[in-house]
Amino acid sequence: MNGKDDENKITAIMIVEMMGRPKEHLIQSSEELVRQLTEEKGLKIVNKKINEPVLVKDQKDLFTTFSEIEIEVEDPLILAVLTFKYMPSHMEIVEPEKFVMSNYGYSDILNELTRRLHRYEELVRVMQMQMESQGGGFTQLKPAEAPKMEEKKKSKEKKVETEKKKSKKK
């Protein structure tokens, strides 16, 4: 970063982890992620390494992999946006070791973070209301409990049907 054009550039390394099946799908997804990054404005990919997927311990067909992507950006705000957009498991700024940021630049980053957090909170609230309106909630059933819940639901439906029949006879 010796040239005048490079003086505001930030070099960072993103590590993005993925898990899934089949193995080939993880490789394709990692390559697609890198392709999407190449289309981001204000970002240049300096180096990339997509690691071979490995089998998850105690699993027959579930794989995990990670990609190391070295990027160069023009603005710290781009790093904040990338963090929310691609959810890397790790982000490390390589250079510069120190940099000066205006209060406006820092405010932009904080406002972008706040905007995205509010959007995520809004989505969670909408999902929560939808689940509650369907008689659900955030309770997760263990696979063994699901048939029991189905039986309870059918039993309740039978009771309601029986009561409807009784009320019609009266």
Beta bridge partners of 93: 12
Number of domains forming the structure of the chain: 2
pLDDT digits (tens, 9 = 90+) for 89-115: 999 999 999 888 889 988 998 998 899
User: Same domain for 54 and 72?
Assistant: yes
Cα 49 to Cα 15, 36, 102, 164, distances in angstroms: 10, 15, 34, 65
Q: Which of 111, 121, 38 is nearest to 76 (CA)?
A: 111
Radius of gyration of the chain, Cα coordinates, nearest whole angstrom: 25
The pLDDT confidence band at residue 116, using thresholds 50, 70 and 90, is: confident
Whether residues 116 and 84 share a domain: the answer is no
Q: By 3-state DSSP, what share of the chain in percent is helix, strand and coil, each rounded to 5? A: 50, 20, 30
Residues 14, 94, single domain; the answer is yes
1-5, 16-20, 57-61: range with lowest mean pLDDT: 1-5
pLDDT digits (tens, 9 = 90+) for 66-87: 999 999 999 999 999 999 899 9
Whether 3 is covered by a domain: the verdict is no
**What share of the chain has pLDDT > 70, as a percent?**
81
